[in-house]
Amino acid sequence: MKTFSKYWSIFQITLINSLAYPGELVGRSLMIIPFMWIFYQLWKVTFSAAGADIINGLTLRDTLWYLMLAETIELGRPPIARTMSENVKDGSIAYILNKPYDFLLYQFSTAMGETIFRAILNAVFGGLTVLWLVGAPKHPEGFLIALPAIFGAWILHFCINAMIGLSAFVVEDVSAFTWIYQKLAFIFGGMLIPLDFYPQWLQTLAKFLPFSSAIYGPARLFVTPTAQFFINVMSLQLAWIFVLTFLLVVAYRRGLTQLTVNGG
């Protein structure tokens, strides 16, 4: 019980901390509004050029709500890899490592604490924008059904980004890796274009990769909240969480012996 309350407290303090500058928090979240407006223009033209109301099972309304949730997941997650890299560079890793808690669970608790308000604000601003542009989603209850998958998506993001962050124990600067990850997530996660619009072979490949479990899966579940799809998304996601958590723990144990702490 005490162990759980430890991580819960870490989560809570990060949550409170994320409210230290409310203006910055809100301002950053407002960015989703122009994003959604651009997506709306882009997809409106695409749908009318194709002369179809439905492309590969998605309407314009579905596409916009899909993109809203995809953006919310992506914009809500904190830059874990960059934070860990900065901790190594400025030496503050020394304080994080010398407390009686599991380093990875500590990082996860802080990451979730930073995520909650960002994600809520993005969902609210993004949701209102899309509501105004294309109307209510076909399955509003889909949001609740997608919630476990959204949480799972953040766990996946955490695993991948923490692994990138851990490489800072050796290389210190990880910006190149985060850049690559971001671009891969854009393409294979379906951040700009839902994977359904890809050619079949690319779809098959992309849907199997962890990026789709971290973005496409939950966002698509929101617009198609069927039991079968829920099972598909969750089982693939859990498999990836299992594999990546294992890799992360191995990477952490190895990284620890390589760590150099900067500063006097």
Looking at beta carbons only, is 21 or 132 nearer to other proteins? 21
Q: Output 5 or 204, the one with its CB closest to other proteins.
A: 5
* Least CB distance to other proteins at residue 11 (A): 11
* Nearer CB in complex with other proteins: 51/263: 263
Q: How far is the CB of 123 from other proteins (least distance, A)?
A: 24
Tell me whether residue 72 or residue 109 sits nearer to other proteins (CB atom): 109
Q: Which residues contact 255 (CB under 8 A, 6 or more apart)?
A: 166, 167, 169, 170
Contacting residues toward other proteins, per CB under 8 A: 2, 5-6, 9-10, 13, 16-17, 20-21, 90-95, 97-102, 256-257, 259-261, 263-264
Q: How far is the CB of 92 from other proteins (least distance, A)?
A: 5
- Give whichever of 38 and 261 is closer to other proteins, judged by the CB atom: 261
CB of 263 to other proteins, least distance (A): 6
In the complex with other proteins, which residue's Cβ is closer, 231 or 261?
261
The least distance separating other proteins from the CB of residue 185, rounded to whole angstroms, comes to 29
* Min CB(200)–other proteins separation in Å: 42
Tokens 């509003």 map to which residue? 140
